[in-house]
Structure formats: C-alpha cells, structure tokens
Structure 1
Amino acid sequence: MNKVTVLGSLNVDSILRFKRFPKPGETLPLTGKSVAGGGKGANQAIAAARAGAQTTFIGKVGTDQEGAFMVQQLTNSGVNDQYVQHSNVASTGSAFILLDSSSENRILIDGGTNQQVTAEDVERAQPAISASTFLIAQFETPIAATIRGFELAQAAGQKTILNPAPATTTVPAELLATTDLIVPNETETETLTGVHITDEQSMIQGAQKLQALGVANVIITVGSKGAFWMRGAEHGFVPAYKVEAVDTTAAGDTFIGALSSVLMPDFSNLAAAVRFANRASSIAVQKLGAQPSIPTKEAIEAAERA
C-alpha cells in the first residue's frame, strides 16, 4: 500500500447550475445550487484514500463551521487530519463553481486560510512526509510551504508530485529541482513552456521542455481526450474512457489522487497508473460535486471489469 501525504487546499464549494453563462449585464435564473467539500488538495487526498492509499493531509482551516465540515470530509474518507491546523485569523477557503448545462465550469476562489499555510506548518508534518511514498502539492497554498515540503521529502528519499494549478508563469527553480513528477493540463503546460498543446507531437515538445526545467517524469492531461506521459525518453498516450460528463470539477484531482495510490516510486508502471487514473476520472465526471463524485477503489476496479 502506498503512503501518500498531500499538502494543499481545503475549500467549501458552492455549486451554481444554470443553462448557459450569462452575457454581460444579463440576469439568468439558476437551475440548482448545492454545497460540497472541495479544494484541489482535499480532493486529491480523498481520491488517494478512496483508491486505497494510506493518506495524510497538511493544510489549514478556520475556526468556523466550514472548517469543521472540511475536516469531517477528510476523516470520513479515511484521511489522517493530524496535520490540519486551525486558524482564527481568516475563514476557511471557499470556491464558487459556475456550471452550465453542457458541464462546462468556471470557478472563483477565496483562498482564506489556505493562504496562511507556512513552511513551519509543513515542518511539523515531517514525520508523515518522511514516511510517505509520495508528497503531492498544488498552487492553492503558498509556494514557500511547498518548496519546504519537497525539500523534506527529497531529504528523506521520498518522491514528489507537483500539480502546477492554478497555472502560473513563474515556478521557482528550487521547486522544480525537487519535483519528481509534474502533472499539468494542456493550459498549464502552455503557461509553463509556451508550447500550445494540439497533438501528440506538441505534447512531446511540451514534456521535453518540462524535463529541461529539471523534472524527469511528466504527465500532461488533456481532458476528455486522455493523458500523455513521459518517463525519461519513453513516452505514450493513454486515451480517456468515453462517458457522459455531468460535472468535470474534480476530474483532474481524482486523476492525481488515484494515480498516486498505485504508482511505483521508481515510476516503472507509469502507463498502467495513468490508465487506472483515467478510469477513476471517468467515474468522477458522471456525478455532481467535487468530493461526492470521487470513486472508491472498489468502484474503479468494478468499472475496469465491466
């Protein structure tokens, strides 16, 4: 069983559904609204735990009802919340997900306590990091904390996975130097490398540029098409499973969490792990809400047998 630690965000998601996005100055009625647990970090941790990994979370919530709700979402899925700090300086992070009838989403985020995660918070979690197969992080918490976490993981001989989202044009060299696997989508790949992803050749070019920045292993996710992987000079493309999407909000996070649950620390089974992660994502997009849609290992394996 892989041991996974996730450093990242916890957000309460407010999901607003409507037929189409309004034009400037236009008012439209909602077709529905709901609340669910979210945040890229929490989603990835829950996905890893439900897929069978022993999972620990590093993050921060407020001393409010939303914070208690988010911690409960972690523990309900078997995620260790020992290193989730509580702050009375800011409120728990929140996100507003705008979802139209074609399942296209746009997301607005208030970082709240996610932006207060510090290197010192990460250092408190060193026992978990040192014992983990993988440490996963994204960009919804301060990069300084992520750099410290990756340094601790590297010092302990453990592997790191970076999801460079939300996209940013400036990633510190010291973070990339301690990243073993980077998992951007096509937009994030273009932001980081300048390569516009249109076909497999551009995926190869983008992945090679990421390798030139210091990351040996690369996965580029391309939504409903699938995912491209590169390990050293080896590479391949794994098509996505064709399903009717209802809500794609947690698709990428489910992919990363499920991937980490089965990936070997030497990345030797990268292609097979991508296939498993694709299957998990295909299940997640068929349900509404980020965390409610994340499948269990049993559901993933049942879908594989079907």
Structure 2
Amino acid sequence: MSGKVVVVGSLNMDLVTRAHRLPKAGETLAGESFATVPGGKGANQAVAAARLGARVAMIGCVGDDAYGEQLCAALIAEQIDCQGVTKVAGVSTGIASIVVDANSQNAIIIVAGGNGHLTPEVVTRFDALLVDADVVVCQLEVPTQTVFHTLRRARELGKTVVLNPAPALAALPAQWYSLIDYLIPNESEATALTGIAVDSLAGAESAARALLAAGAAKVIITLGEQGSLFASLEGVRHYPAPRVVPVDTTAAGDTFVGGFAAALAQGQSEDNAMQFGQTAAALSVTRAGAQPSIPTFLDVQGFKPA
C-alpha cells in the first residue's frame, strides 16, 4: 500500500430489506430477505480506499451499542486506522434503513445517531491524521460545520480535498468551493446543487459547468450505468461504465469515490484514477450489500466486462 487517505464522515449500520418493488406511501409489502450490513458513506469510502490500495484512517463517531462495536471491528478488519473513531456515551449508532427492489434500485432512510456528534472539536483532536494525509475525503452525513472545518483545515495543510456532497438538498455554501479539489455528486445531488435536471449527458455537462462557474475546481458527476463525467476549466470528458449484470447499486458511488481517492493518493493521473474508480464501481454493483460489495485492488486489475 502507498498513499494515505483520511476519511472524515459517517458510520452506519445498514438494515437492508430486499423486496420485489419499493413500497408506495401507506403501503405494506412482504419483503424477501433482511440483513444488517456495515455501511455509512464515510465508512464505505474508507473501506473502498483501503481495499483499493491506500493506507486509510477514519475520523467519525459511533454510539455505545453493539452496532458501534461491530462497525469498528469491520474497519479494523480492513486494516483501517480507527484511533479517530470516537464512541459517544448514551447515543445510538447511526443506521440506514434500505429497501432494494428487483431492479437493484434502492430507497434509503438515515438516522444520524452518533454521526451527529462528530463536531469540529472531535476532528481537531485527531489533527495529526490530517497532517499525515495525502487525500482528505468528506461527505454530508455529518454536521455541516464539521465538514466545513475539515475542508478548511485540509486546504490549509495543502492536501488534496475530495467532497462527495451526499446527501445534497440545496446549493453548497459559496465559501466551500475554493476549499475543494474534486466535487463528486451523483445525478440527483448535482440537480440539488444546481437546479439543473441531470437526466442526460447534456444535463450532466450543464450542471458540471454551473458548478465550475460557482467556483469548483474540478467536478465529477457519477451517472450510474452511464458512467461518469469529468469537468474542469480545461474541458469535459465522459467515461462510459463497463458493462456488468447489476445485483445491487448500494455503495457504488462510495466505491467510486474511495477508488478515485486511493488512486490519487498513490500518485496516479486523473485519467487513470477516473478509470480505476469507474471499474471498481461497476464491479461493486454485481454484488449485494454496501461494504461487502466493494472490490479489492486485485479484483479491479483482473476485471473483464460482461
């Protein structure tokens, strides 16, 4: 392993139900299966970066319950440095209730739990981890003031800064853009950030250009089975997704972010990092679950499209 990625973000236990279709409002459906699976966008991205070749440290908060213990154990099993994962007394660990349908689409409800206790003061206690990082990765499943603190501190330290703005409900604060090297939303998040419908490659390009105009240095919009779009002031490039047979799209975006960050931390070019992250994400949708679906570096190296 080479290159150090530090992820500041959420840890959730995913409560995953599979059903033929997603329920409508007020409707009760019979499910087909249920499982508890380690997740949370922060933890997923940390696991992805670790499996895909980086040294990784995680900064986050869990509750003092069995889920918290299980989540930490799962990260440690991936050789992730967990000194920055703080247990908060009297609080439940974050959970995500996920329903996956027969077409591998999902609907998710998140309860923050311990994630809501990840304050700037907690991150400051583990500043040495940021100092040692090559790439710092954040999302939006923890308090926004903590995300802003982390982005600003990482920029002060001269680190490569990645923000996955998920979940996104509205435009980012204007002062955030100058702190971010790579802004990585999916279609719905890019729409929420810009107000532009991202339902085609043309829509994705329009949204990316709007984010560049807002001050983003570089924008990557992940587009599911259509791949991803990379945009900077130098131009725009579409990266098609490898063809695979999908099983479950959960954590595909997290796998892309973790793989992209791992490749950057190892000194790979942007083009190589994009292709590496894209292949890793495609592999992840061929498997069920969040962290269990994330491939390894060797998986990606040996991947052959369907």
For normalisation by structure 1, the TM-score amounts to 0.95
Distance in structure 1 (CA, Å) of the matches to 2:197 and 2:26: 33
Distance in structure 1 (CA, Å) of the matches to 2:27 and 2:201: 40
The one-letter amino acid paired with 2:129 is: A
Q: Unaligned 5+ residue runs, structure 1?
A: none
Shift of 1:205: 2.0
The alignment covers a number of residue pairs equal to 305
Q: Which structure 2 residues correspond to residues 46-65 of structure 1 after superposition, within 5 A? A: 46-65=47-66
Q: Unaligned 5+ residue runs, structure 2?
A: none
Shift of 1:26: 3.6
- The alignment-based identity, stated in percent, is 38
Question: Which residue is 2:158 aligned to?
Answer: 157
What's the secondary structure of 1:208's corresponding residue?
helix
Contact 1:238 1:271 (C-alpha < 8 Å) held by counterparts:
no
Question: Which residue is 2:232 aligned to?
Answer: 231
Contact 2:135 2:264 (C-alpha < 8 Å) held by counterparts:
no
Question: Which residue is 2:84 aligned to?
Answer: 83
Instruction: Give the direction of change, closer, same or farther, for the CA distance of 1:264–1:37 in structure 2 (3 Å limit).
Output: closer
The one-letter amino acid paired with 1:100 is: D
Q: Which structure 2 residues correspond to residues 1-306 of structure 1 after superposition, within 5 A? A: 1-263=2-264, 269-303=269-303
Distance in structure 1 (CA, Å) of the matches to 2:304 and 2:24: 42
Instruction: Give the direction of change, closer, same or farther, for the CA distance of 1:204–1:102 in structure 2 (3 Å limit).
Output: closer
Contact 1:2 1:260 (C-alpha < 8 Å) held by counterparts:
no
Distance in structure 1 (CA, Å) of the matches to 2:23 and 2:200: 32
Shift of 1:212: 1.7
Shift of 1:264: 6.1
Contact 1:17 1:33 (C-alpha < 8 Å) held by counterparts:
yes
What's the secondary structure of 2:245's corresponding residue?
coil
Shift of 1:27: 2.9
Distance in structure 1 (CA, Å) of the matches to 2:254 and 2:34: 22
The one-letter amino acid paired with 2:276 is: F
Shift of 1:129: 0.8
Shift of 1:227: 0.2
CA RMSD of aligned residues (A): 1.7
The one-letter amino acid paired with 1:303 is: F
Which deviates the most, 192-201 or 221-230?
192-201
Distance in structure 1 (CA, Å) of the matches to 2:22 and 2:204: 31
